[in-house]
Amino acid sequence: MHGWNWVHSYTGLPRPFFSRVQPAQVPAPRTVFWNQTLATELGLNPDAFPPEEVAAQLSGNRLPPGTDPIAQAYAGHQFGHFTMLGDGRAILLGEHLTPAQHRVDIQLKGSGVTPYSRRGDGKAALGPMLREYLISEAMHALGIPTTRSLAVVATGETIYRETPLPGAILTRIAASHLRVGTFQFAATLDQPESLRALVTYTIHRHFPAAAQADCLALALLENVINRQAELVAQWLAVGFVHGVMNTDNMALSGETIDYGPCAFLDRYHPDAVFSSIDHAGRYAYARQPSIAQWNLARFAETLLPEIDPIPERAIELARTAVETFAPQFQRAWLLRMRAKLGLQIPEAEDQILIQTLLRWMTETGVDFTATFRNLTFHLDSATAQPPDRDFGAWLQSWRARLRRENVPSDQIRQRLHRANPRFTPRNARVEEALAAAHHGDLAPLQRLLRVLARPYDEHPGDEGLAEPPPDGGVGYQTFCGT
């Protein structure tokens, strides 16, 4: 018994929302990573999954009984331009019910062409799939909502990008793959009953507490706005830059999804951009909240006919909801940033304290993760010399503020360590590990995975993985993982 517990609710939606497809057969599947911890959490029986079995099932070569593979239809704004998309290289095997009755999507990413592949080959290269596995698992360990990665299986196939590359398939676990783009697709259908079905489906799947609301569409909008405000605040608090916040890459569940060109800040700068194709800095670090709000406005537009039959009223209600994003984000961000400074009792001046630190960090270009983690060294004015006068002055006001928390410094130290990771996936370390994997050596990637599974702990012997790059990581570029 494998422990799979397949159910299929998405296929109950009207026909335009998906197409039935079969994953391509692959020549020589080989398990590269198998996430036993996650498998166990999902209620799968790890003994039933020797590497050959993982390879056979999660390459799509021998699907477990009970699956009903489909590709989902969606649309999206990519860098501001509206396009019809859909799963061009991903196949949803179905939903799996965990022993705790959580419903999760089980998706194979890179398993061949679908009706939505356009000119693509439907395949994925090993490097980007390993990168998604690593970063998504690191995000989860940092406590940030995210899709998870159950396995990476190499296909034994060569795929062609700029150069020939080994092919691979990632098994992605998600609360669902419903996205802003799914609703944008629904809006193009001009079928009121299809849109209504999607609204009802999404509410029941993600926000059952809102199922009794007077207006489901408005309740859905408000809930999604709330989740996104929380999510983006968490990204900023760890220095995460998603890199491709197109509306098709914004999950309604509030999970981080699509780890193509993402990166983590080394040197702090609000305008930091890593993606080679993001020339205008549309998805820069500090622009992520306003882009999220822009995406949510696109989401709101799709819901208008369901919000109110009178367009002016619908627009007014939707606008009011979308405008709550900024204050919700601000509140979530303040909470996270306060925590990063060891503060729990809110004070009116906290915002200034945080902004002053961030301004100093921008001016000096210090490392984001290390600056916050190392605050504990500055708790006592006698023990560490501040690097400059501005920081010294800031430390003084911070210490005065900490005294008003009225707790012993040991407790502050603990708070700081819980809110500030020692380890994030340093871009250079990730690249090194992927380069080694490309040459057949998985050890560096395994080491990173092990350390990043407990990012708030010290890992004696692995301190190097926390070391900021000597040049601040300036000039680091990422490329879309296609």
The two three-digit tokens of residue 298, written as one number: 């696109």
**Least distance from ligand AMP to the Cβ atom of residue 270, Å:** 25
Nearest residue to ligand AMP, using CB? 120
Query: Contact letters (x/-) for Mg ion, 32-61, by CB under 5 A?
Result: ------------------------------
Pick between residue 85 and residue 187 the one whose CB is nearest to ligand AMP.
Answer: 85
Residue from 258, 266, 278, 306 binding ligand AMP (CB under 6 A):
258
Q: Is 105 in the site for Mg ion (CB under 5 A)?
A: no
Residue from 222, 230, 258, 367 binding Mg ion (CB under 5 A):
258
* Residue 122 binding target from Mg ion, ligand AMP, none, CB below 5 to 8 Å by type: ligand AMP
* Residue 266 binding target from ligand AMP, Mg ion, none, CB below 5 to 8 Å by type: none
- Please write down the HEC assignment for all residues of the chain: CCCCCEECCHHHCCHHHEEECCCCCCCCCEEEEECHHHHHHCCCCHHHCCHHHHHHHHCCCCCCCCCCCEEECCEEEECCEEEECCCCCEEEEEEEECCCCCEEEEEEECECCCCCCCCCCCEEEHHHHHHHHHHHHHHHHCCCCECEEEEEEEEEEEEECCCEEEEEEEEEEECCCCEHHHHHHHHHHCCHHHHHHHHHHHHHHHCHHHCCCCCHHHHHHHHHHHHHHHHHHHHHHHCEECCCCCHHHCECCCCECCCCCCEECCECCCCCCCECCCCCCCCCHHHHHHHHHHHHHHHHHHHHHHHCCCHHHHHHHHHHHHHCHHHHHHHHHHHHHHHHCCCCCCCCCHHHHHHHHHHHHHHHCCEHHHHHHHHHHHCCCCCCCCCCHHHHHHHHHHHHHHHCCCCCHHHHHHHHHHHCCCCCCCHHHHHHHHHHHHCCCCHHHHHHHHHHCCCCCCCCCCHHHHCCCCCCCCCCCECCCC
- Residue of 47, 87, 121, 248 marked active site: 248
Q: Among 129, 156, 133, which residue's Cα sits nearest to residue 35?
A: 133
Q: Is 41 in the site for ligand AMP (CB under 6 A)?
A: no
Q: Is 249 in the site for ligand AMP (CB under 6 A)?
A: yes
The two three-digit tokens of residue 153, written as one number: 């299986």
Whether 471 is a known active-site residue: answer: no
Angle at 444 between CA 441 and CA 447, to 5 degrees: 135
Tell me which residues in 87-106 interact with ligand AMP (CB under 6 A): 87-90
**Least distance from ligand AMP to the Cβ atom of residue 166, Å:** 14
Residue from 85, 150, 151, 419 binding ligand AMP (CB under 6 A):
85
CA distance 244 to 128: 15
* Residue 89 binding target from ligand AMP, Mg ion, none, CB below 5 to 8 Å by type: ligand AMP
Q: Is 121 in the site for ligand AMP (CB under 6 A)?
A: yes
**Least distance from Mg ion to the Cβ atom of residue 74, Å:** 9
* Residue 443 binding target from ligand AMP, Mg ion, none, CB below 5 to 8 Å by type: none
Residue from 249, 302, 328, 420 binding Mg ion (CB under 5 A):
249
**Least distance from ligand AMP to the Cβ atom of residue 293, Å:** 20
CA distance 482 to 274: 16
Contact region with ligand AMP (CB under 6 A), list: 15-23, 138-146, 200-208, 243-251: 243-251
Pick between residue 121 and residue 431 the one whose CB is nearest to ligand AMP.
Answer: 121
**Least distance from Mg ion to the Cβ atom of residue 202, Å:** 18
**Least distance from ligand AMP to the Cβ atom of residue 44, Å:** 26
**Least distance from Mg ion to the Cβ atom of residue 263, Å:** 17
* Residue 209 binding target from ligand AMP, Mg ion, none, CB below 5 to 8 Å by type: none
Contact region with ligand AMP (CB under 6 A), list: 28-36, 79-87, 282-290, 437-445: 79-87
Contact region with ligand AMP (CB under 6 A), list: 15-23, 35-43, 117-125, 326-334: 117-125
Q: Is 482 in the site for ligand AMP (CB under 6 A)?
A: yes
Q: Which residues bind Mg ion (CB under 5 A)?
A: 249, 258
Q: Which residues bind ligand AMP (CB under 6 A)?
A: 85-90, 117, 120-123, 244, 248-249, 258, 260, 480, 482
> Which are the catalytic amino acids?
248
